[in-house]
Amino acid sequence: MRRNTRRRPTGARRRTFAAVALILGGGGLVAANTYASAGEGDSGGRVQDQSGGDQAATISCPDVGQQLTDLPGEARADVDKALADLDQQITEAYDRLTSTRQEQAQDGNFVRDAILGPLSEKRTEVIGQIKIDVKRAGGTAPESLDGLAACTEISPAQAQKNDGGGDGDNQNGDADTADPGTGQDGDGQAGGQPDDNGNGAAGPFAEDFVDITKVQPNIQAKPRNTGKASTGTFTVECGVNENKIFNTDNLIVAPGVDNGAHHTHDYVGNQGVDAFASNDDLANAETSCSEQGDKSSYYWPVLRVQDGTQEFDAEQQGGGLEGNVGRILAADKAEIQYVGSPTGKVVAMPKFLRIITGDAKAFTNGTANANANWSCTGFEDKVQLADKYPICPQGSSVVRSFAFQSCWDGQNIDSANHRAHVAFADAEGNCGNGFKAIPQLTMRLVYDVPAPIIENGQVRNPYAVDGFPEQLHKPITDHDDFINVMDEDLMDEVVDCVNAGRQCGAGAGEQPQEPQKPEEPKQPQEPKQPEQPEEPQKPEEPKQPEQPEQPQEPKEPKDKPAPQEPQEPQEPQEPQDEQDEQEPTPEASSADKDPAKKPGAAPDAPADPSAAPSDAATRTQEAEAPDDAREGETKARATSPAETSDTGVETQSEEAQPQPQADSGSLASTGADLWPAAAGGVLVLGGLVLLIHTRRRNMTTN
C-alpha cells in the first residue's frame, strides 16, 4: 500500500493562502465596480438602450415654408394649410419617437423604418399637393421642394448642442452615454425619471442654462447716428396679458388652422386674435393698450416653470399633450417701444403689416432667422444670450428682449414665407434692396423666475419657452409676433415723434399729440412742453433700454451687480483657479474657432464643453451669408452673443464648477455606488497586512 506523502499546509502557508485570497477577492470587487462605473458614466442611473447606441433625441425635417418666397395670392390659403399639415405630421412623428423607446432599443433600424420612412412618404404627398396648388394659381413652385421630404434624426449627443445644427445628420453613437436630458428608460416610461420634468424628456436640459455672472461681456456696438438719424421714441403701454388671453393658434403663419403654433401664446393689445380672425375682426376688436387707437396684436410664446403645476392646458394640444408643461409665468413688465433709424427718417407702417422676429424652429432650421435675446436685469448692457437660458443672481430678473425687422419692401403687408417683405438693417443701419425704414418695434419682457437646480448633470424645476415639441424647448427658438392695427392718425404720430427726436407715448404726457405737426425743425418745443413734469410717474419708459433697468437698481446696480457679488466672487474666483487644471486646452481650441465679432453659441455646460461653441459659430457664419440684412446690431445680438474667444475658455470652465459642487451633496447616492470598491480596498489592504505579517514571522522562525 502506497503511503500518502502529501504534506498538510502549515499555519504559515494557510496564512499565505488566505492573504492571497483576500487580495484577489478585493481586487476583483474594485475592478468590477470600476467597470460598472465606466458603463454608467455620469448618467445618474439612466438605462441605456439594449442596442448599445444612443436613442434619437428628436427629428429634423427641412422647413418647406422658408423656400416659398413667391406665391400667387390665390394659392396662399391652401399652401398655409398644407404647411400646417407638415407641422402636424412632425408633431405626430415626434410623439411616436418618444413613446417607442423599447422598440428602438430592440431594433436599431426602428426609427428609420417605422418613423422616418412613413413620415417622409406623408411629406412627399403634401409637398406634391403644394406644387399642384401653386401651378393651379398660375405660379411656379421652387424645384428645391422635391428634396425636402426626407427627415433625419438628431442624436442625444447632438441635442446637447443648443444650436441644433439644422442639418439633421444622424450621429448615433457619437457619445459614450445617453444625453442627460433623454431620461427615457428601456420601456419608454419617462414619467418616473428625474430629468424629464413631466414633459417626457423634451427639455430643457442642464446644458441649456448658464450662470450669467460667469459670462464675459459681449454687447456689440450700435451703429452711429448720422445727421439725418431719427432718434425719437414712442412708447406703448398694453399690459402683461392681465386678461389671460391664451391660444395655440398662429394667425400669421397658419391662418384658419386650429393649434397651428403647437404652443401657447401670450397676447397683449388686440383682444380678438385667433386663427380665424380677419382683418376686419382685428379692426373691430377691443385693445388692452392705453392708446385706444392701437389695436395692434403683440404676442409671444409663454414662459413656464416646469415645477409639476397642472395648468389649464395640461391635457390639451399645444399644452401638456405636446410637452409644454408647468406653471405659466406672467411677465412683471412688457415694455413696447418704437424707435427710429440711425441713418435717416422713417415712414409709416401699412395697416395690418405682419412681422415675425426669431424662428420657432431655429434648433432644427439653424440660426439664419434666429433672434433670441436672453439676459438678466443689471446685466443687459453687458451680456445678451441667444442659445442659453440665464441663471440670474438673487435679486435679478430674467429678461427676454426683441428688436423687430426695421426695413419694409414698401408694398406688401405679408409674404409667402412671412419674412421676405421685411428685413433687418445692415451693420451701419441702412436698409438695402430698395427697402424703406419703418419705426422699429422693440419689446422687453421681464420675469421673476425661480432659479433652476442643476445637480448630477440634470436640471430640476427649469424654466423654458413654449415651442414645437421636437424643438426640445431650446432657448434659441424664442420668437415674437406683431400685426400692426394702429389707426392712421396714431401711426402718423409715431412717425412724426420718432423723426423729430422726441420721447412720446405712455409716460410722456400729451406729447404723442404734438407729432401731428409735420414741421420737424420745431424740436425746440421740447423744453416748452408742460407735460414733462409727469414723466417721474413712469421714469423708465421714456428712456429706452436704460430706464427700464433703473427700477431694478435697488436690487442690482446697473454697472456692477454689487449687491449680489458677495456670492459671485466665490464662484468666479475658485472656478478660475481650477479651470487651468480641468479643461483649458479643449476649450481654448474650440474658442479659437469662434470669431469674437459674432460667435455662435453661449458657453456650454461641462457635459460637452467644446462642441457647442465651434459648431454654433459655423451655424452663425452660414446664417449670415444668405441674409445680408441681418448684419446690423439686431443680428449681432441674435446670434449667440454669449461667446467671444475669451468666453469660450473662461465661461465654460467656470460654469463647470457649480455642478461638481452640487454633485458633492449627493452623499447617499455616491456611497451606494462606491461601497463595492471600498470593501474591495479593505480586503486588499487586509490581505497585504496578513501576507507581510506571515513573511516576517517565517523569517523570525527560520
pLDDT in tens, 471-492: 999 999 999 999 999 999 999 9
SS3 of 335, please? strand
How buried is residue 559: exposed, middle or buried, by Cβ count under 10 Å (0-12/13-18/19+)? exposed
Domain ranges of the chain: 58-154, 209-505
Q: Determine how many CB atoms are found less than 10 A away from the CB of residue 526.
A: 14
Q: Which of 93-102, 161-170, 209-218, 316-325 has the lowest mean pLDDT?
A: 161-170
With bands split at pLDDT 50, 70 and 90, how would you rate the model's confidence at 100? very high
The predicted pLDDT at position 430 comes to 97
Quote the longest CA-to-CA distance of the chain: 134
Could you tell me whether strands 389-391 and 209-211 are parallel, antiparallel, or unpaired per DSSP bridges? Answer: parallel
Residue 69 to residue 530: CA distance in whole angstroms: 50
Model pTM? 0.66
Q: Say if residue 204 is preceded by a cis peptide, omega within 30 of 0.
A: yes
The predicted pLDDT at position 441 comes to 98
The more confidently predicted of residues 440 and 55 is 440
Q: Which of 34-43, 61-70, 395-404 has the lowest mean pLDDT?
A: 34-43
554: pLDDT strictly greater than 60 = no
The predicted pLDDT at position 616 comes to 38
437: pLDDT strictly greater than 90 = yes
What does pLDDT average to over the chain?
75
φ and ψ of 234, to 5 deg: -125, 115
SS3 of 492, please? helix
Within a 13 Å sphere around the CA of 183, how many CA atoms are in the beta-carbon half?
24
Q: Determine how many CB atoms are found less than 10 A away from the CB of residue 14.
A: 12
612: pLDDT strictly greater than 60 = no
Residue 542 to residue 377: CA distance in whole angstroms: 18
Q: What's the whole-number mean pLDDT along residues 407-424?
A: 97
Residue 216 to residue 696: CA distance in whole angstroms: 63
Residue 536 CB partners (closer than 8 Å, separation 6+): none
DSSP 77: H
The per-residue pLDDT for range 194-234, each reduced to its tens digit, is: 456 777 678 899 999 999 999 999 998 899 999 999 999 99
Strand partners, 408: 422, 436
SS3 of 638, please? helix
597: pLDDT strictly greater than 70 = no
The per-residue pLDDT for range 261-298, each reduced to its tens digit, is: 999 999 999 999 999 999 999 999 999 999 999 999 99
Cell digits of residue 405: 425687422
Residue 199 to residue 581: CA distance in whole angstroms: 37
Task: Write down the residue that cell numbers 424647448 correspond to.
Answer: 473
Residue 278 to residue 539: CA distance in whole angstroms: 37
The predicted pLDDT at position 682 comes to 72
Distance, CA of 444 to chain centre: 17
